[in-house]
């Protein structure tokens, strides 16, 4: 597979990445994570990659893409590779990387790591009373379509028209060291179940696209929000299945609003663009972020 083959000869130098989605304006939560990413890359004398995560075609907008480039630059963040500047591991927009994702799907299918799933959201509705994954994956998948080990597999030319799930090992503890939250441990089948790698609308999932791109772009450290700690455990399984070494991890504490809810793109009043219109400067943003840190995090 091209994405895995490109891992050969990975440079020893630090390679971090910014991975915004052009589905809305960047907010303070994004600023916190991306400033941390920039700081860690600068401290390591490494390379920063900008990846345009625009797989959500229905919600992605060119005006949001333009705004995110402008707002990141306004914050003082500078990247050395990206869709606007090029680089050796492009293309840097996910909408242009379909061959990479198809290659990964084929690798996983041939090795028996994924299976087709006919379940719709409506079918899984009764599972809402079951244990939750506690993130965007939704309820723990009950294994409705999971095939019996050794069962004959039908041949598929492409993934279109059905959901595809990654078959997690039964009861395995997935551990990793996080540079902020220290040692993390999740148990398959309890903390998360078989997860989507490809959707029936013929779009790869975040989990698969993220891993394939980080491999191909030779990312050595992933910096992102703490809401994705569980996703890291899933992605470690994907790295292993694809025969690639995972990067290092740094998960940032979440920035929340006055009610304690994590910031989302619906918080227009706290978007970088709105704050700029109010006359805020990059140093003001940094002060705001420091004041919004939980006390135990600010003390670190």
Is residue 256's pLDDT more than 60?
Answer: yes
Lowest-confidence region among 105-114, 130-139, 143-152: 130-139
Residue-wise pLDDT tens digits, 1-37: 444 443 333 445 999 999 999 999 999 999 999 999 9
Q: Which comes out higher in pLDDT, residue 137 or 224? A: 224
State the pTM of this model: 0.89
Quick one: pLDDT at residue 5?
A: 40
Q: Determine the pLDDT at residue 1.
A: 45
- The mean of the pLDDT values for the chain is 88
Share of the chain above pLDDT 90, in %: 77
| pLDDT at position 120 | 81
Residue 296 has pLDDT above 70, yes or no: no
Q: How far is CA 105 from CA 121, 204, 214, 280, in A?
A: 22, 9, 16, 45
Please write the tens of the pLDDT for every residue from 40-69.
Answer: 999 999 999 999 999 999 999 999 999 999
- Other Cβ atoms less than 10 A from the Cβ of 296: the count is 8
Per-residue pLDDT, 16: 98
Domain span at residue 95? Answer: 2-298
Residue 259 has pLDDT above 80, yes or no: no
Q: How many structural domains does the chain have?
A: 1
Share of the chain above pLDDT 70, in %: 85
Per-residue pLDDT, 209: 98
Compute CA distances 176 → 75, 212, 246, 266, whole Å. 31, 19, 10, 32
Question: What's the confidence (pLDDT) of residue 179?
Answer: 97
Q: Is the CB of residue 252 less than 8 Å from the CB of residue 226?
A: yes
pLDDT tens across 166-209, in order? 999 999 999 999 999 999 999 999 999 999 999 999 999 999 99
Q: Which CATH number do you get for residue 207?
A: 3.40.50.620
- The CA dihedral of 217, 226, 184, 293, to the nearest 10 degrees, is 130
Mean pLDDT score, 253-279: 77
State the pLDDT confidence band at 100, using cuts at 50, 70 and 90: very high
Q: What is the pLDDT of residue 135?
A: 58
């Amino acid at each position: 597979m091209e994405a895995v083959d490109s891992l050969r000869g990975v440079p020893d130098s630090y390679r971090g990445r910014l991975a915004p989605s052009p589905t809305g304006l960047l907010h303070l939560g994004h600023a916190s994570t991306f400033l941390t990413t920039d700081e860690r890359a600068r401290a390591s004398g490494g390379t920063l990659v900008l990846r345009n995560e625009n797989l959500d075609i229905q919600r992605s907008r060119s005006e949001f893409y333009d705004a995110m480039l402008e707002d990141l630059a306004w914050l003082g963040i500078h990247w050395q590779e990206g869709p606007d500047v090029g680089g050796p591991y492009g293309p840097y927009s996910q909408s242009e990387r379909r061959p990479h994702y198809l290659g990964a799907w084929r690798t996983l299918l041939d090795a028996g790591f994924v299976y087709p799933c006919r379940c719709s959201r409506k079918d899984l509705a009764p599972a809402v009373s079951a244990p939750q994954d506690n993130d965007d994956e939704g309820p723990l998948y009950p294994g409705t379509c999971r095939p019996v080990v050794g069962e004959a597999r039908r041949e598929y030319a492409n993934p279109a028209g059905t959901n595809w799930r990654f078959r997690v090992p039964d009861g395995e503890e997935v551990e990793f060291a996080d540079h902020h939250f220290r040692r993390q441990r999740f148990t398959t089948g309890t903390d998360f179940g078989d997860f989507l790698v490809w959707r029936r609308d013929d779009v790869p999932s975040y989990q698969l696209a993220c891993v394939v791109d980080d491999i191909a772009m030779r990312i050595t450290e992933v910096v992102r929000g703490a809401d994705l700690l569980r996703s890291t455990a899933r992605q470690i399984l994907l790295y292993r299945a694809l025969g690639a070494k995972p990067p290092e991890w740094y998960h940032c504490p979440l920035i929340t609003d006055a009610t304690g809810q994590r910031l989302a793109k619906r918080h227009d009043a706290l978007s970088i663009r709105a704050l700029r219109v109010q006359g805020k400067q990059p140093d003001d943003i940094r002060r705001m972020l420091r004041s919004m840190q939980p006390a135990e995090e600010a003390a670190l």
